Amino acid sequence: MSKIPKLRNDCFTLPLGAFWNPVDDALSLLKARLSCVVEKESCFVQDSDGRILAKSVLAPRSHPPCPNTAVDGYAVSGAISAGAQSYQLLDGRAAAGEAFAGSVSAGEALRVLTGAALPAGAQTVVLQEDVLIQDGIIEVNGPLELGSNARATGEDITVGAVLLKAGHKLTPQDLGMLVAVGVSKVEVFKPLRVVVISTGTELRAPGSEAQTEQIYDVNSPMLSAILRRWNLHVIEFGIVQDDPEALRKALDRAAECADVIITSGGASAGDEDHLSAILNATGTMALWRIAVKPGRPLALGVWNGTAIFGLPGNPVAAFVCLLIFARPALSQLAGAGFTRPEPLMLPAAFDKKKKPGRREYLRARLRSGRVDIFASEGSGRISGLSWSDGLVELTEDETSVIQGQLVRYLPYSSFGL
Ligand code: AMP
Ligand code: MG
């Protein structure tokens, strides 16, 4: 059975008296309260792109594993002194993957090709363009330092070195490095399983018929696609009506097959906001009123031991809350630690006034070195999500932006999109 500690039922409770929580306080709380909930497994390096290391990786051998030549040329023993020097050319050669059985003594030279192991006794390689060959003698104009045009054992990676630490998310470049030093398998965390649920009686599944008073479920496909880009194991439950019994049943099923449940809609305190109502009844509910725009309260709770992130239903708010709050939390639950993107400071191509005391995220994009924002801040404008390439983050104390002023820009790529 799993030794992973269960989430505490009170893991999302806020300090008493808290009302509007600053974004950074909310993030600090998430960081402090959540921990890795997934088990480990072994994985072939070739299949490990995007996986999270559960154990640090040490180099089982050096890179390069032996001295080799970086060029086509002639290997000699020691450095080459200044002035005209001549060497006796040995029979044979060393090529990539084909070592030379003999050795090279002082005054001798061996033909070597790029990537070949240096023959015993040789440390220096002279470029083939820099020699003259006549009657088995090669002539060179020195000097040439010891070790020139050769790569020393372990000059890139030494055996036993810590290559990557636990919690690191593997990239294709990492796979290259690991293979180079002979790693064949790595210990990784099993992918975090996330159930995605959209709540709302007005919602219709993509592609189905919709009456004019009905709307299409934007959140399930959009949020699921984002979660897949984060390499999470996504289980789409589709739409659940605004009906407490139906929602309870869906959460029961979800808690059985997921490590985390992400819902959208029904998270406020209205008559049809059943998610917050039934989470409240469990006593694990925390309705976080975060001083952020867009984003209404974020409902956080624990259902049968499984964490629930109740995002706002509005797709723009759901998108921003997923990136800003759920992403670092999911990363922590998945074993990769609490990760937040580093904003780029770039000049604004817009003017804007803002209320102090809350943080705002504006749909933005970078053009010709300046950041522009979407014409409307209306959170119903789903087209602005598609238009944008990132978010401008205006901090709590900022009250205005004028063109040319540096603003904090978070490209979607910095959120792994
Ligand atoms: P709620 O948070 O349930 O009050 O929803 C806020 C607004 O977002 C309402 O106008 C909903 O119709 C809309 N909404 C909720 N869920 C979705 C969804 N999955 N796709 C599109 N719009 C939604
Ligand atoms: Mg609703």
- The predicted-structure confidence for 135-150, as pLDDT tens digits, reads as follows 999 999 999 999 999 9
Q: Report pLDDT for 159.
A: 98
Q: Report pLDDT for 9.
A: 74
Q: Check if 266 has its Cβ closer than 6 Å to any atom of ligand 1.
A: yes
Residue to substitute in 224, 264, 311 for testing ligand 1 pocket (most ligand atoms within 8 angstroms of CB): 264
Residue to substitute in 216, 226, 314 for testing ligand 1 pocket (most ligand atoms within 8 angstroms of CB): 314
Q: Check if 242 has its Cβ closer than 6 Å to any atom of ligand 1.
A: no
Q: Which ligand is nearest to the CA of 269?
A: 1
Give the pLDDT band (50/70/90) at residue 321: very high
**Does the structure show a pLDDT above 70 at 15?**
no
Bond into 294 cis (ω within 30): yes
Q: Report pLDDT for 282.
A: 81
Give the pLDDT band (50/70/90) at residue 359: very high
Q: Check if 341 has its Cβ closer than 6 Å to any atom of ligand 1.
A: no
Give the pLDDT band (50/70/90) at residue 273: confident
Instruction: State in Å: Cα 230 to ligand 1 middle.
Output: 24
**Does the structure show a pLDDT above 50 at 1?**
no
Q: Check if 379 has its Cβ closer than 6 Å to any atom of ligand 1.
A: no
pLDDT tens, position by position, 220-237: 999 999 999 999 999 999
Q: Report pLDDT for 234.
A: 98
Instruction: State in Å: Cα 65 to ligand 1 middle.
Output: 59
- Beta strands 406-411 and 390-394 are antiparallel
Instruction: State in Å: Cα 212 to ligand 2 middle.
Output: 17
Task: Over range 10-14, report the average pLDDT.
Answer: 66
Task: Return all residues near 83 (Cβ < 8 A) that are at least 6 apart.
Answer: 141, 142, 143
127 burial type by CB count under 10 A (0-12 exposed, 13-18 middle, 19+ buried): middle
Distance between CA atoms of residues 86 and 304, nearest Å:
82
Of 34, 36, 30, 33, residue with least CA distance to 324: 30
Q: Report pLDDT for 69.
A: 97
Q: Report pLDDT for 13.
A: 65
Q: Check if 64 has its Cβ closer than 6 Å to any atom of ligand 1.
A: no
Q: Report pLDDT for 112.
A: 98
Which residue puts its alpha carbon closest to atom 10 of ligand 1? 314
- Say whether 386 sits in a helix, a strand or coil: helix
Q: Which ligand is nearest to the CA of 263?
A: 1
Q: Which domains does the chain have, with CATH numbers?
A: 20-39+190-334 (3.40.980.10), 42-60+162-189 (3.90.105.10), 68-151 (2.170.190.11), 344-415 (2.40.340.10)
Task: Over range 291-310, report the average pLDDT.
Answer: 87
Q: Report pLDDT for 280.
A: 82
More confident residue, 297 or 105: 105
More confident residue, 4 or 408: 408
Task: Return all residues near 105 (Cβ < 8 A) that are at least 6 apart.
Answer: 77, 121
Q: What is the mean pLDDT of the chain?
A: 93
Instruction: State in Å: Cα 330 to ligand 2 middle.
Output: 24
Q: Check if 312 has its Cβ closer than 6 Å to any atom of ligand 1.
A: yes
Q: Check if 215 has its Cβ closer than 6 Å to any atom of ligand 1.
A: yes
Nearest atom in ligand 1 to 198's CA: 19
Nearest atom in ligand 1 to 219's CA: 19
> Angle at Cα 309 formed by Cα 20 and Cα 165, nearest 5°?
100
- Cβ contact 286:14 at 8 Å: yes
**Does the structure show a pLDDT above 60 at 339?**
yes
Which residue puts its alpha carbon closest to atom 18 of ligand 1? 217
pLDDT tens, position by position, 39-96: 999 999 999 999 999 999 999 999 999 999 999 999 999 999 999 999 999 999 999 9
Distance between CA atoms of residues 124 and 146, nearest Å:
6
Q: Report pLDDT for 272.
A: 86
Q: Check if 119 has its Cβ closer than 6 Å to any atom of ligand 1.
A: no
Of 400, 406, 376, residue with least CA distance to 388: 376
Task: Return all residues near 49 (Cβ < 8 A) that are at least 6 apart.
Answer: 170, 171, 172, 175
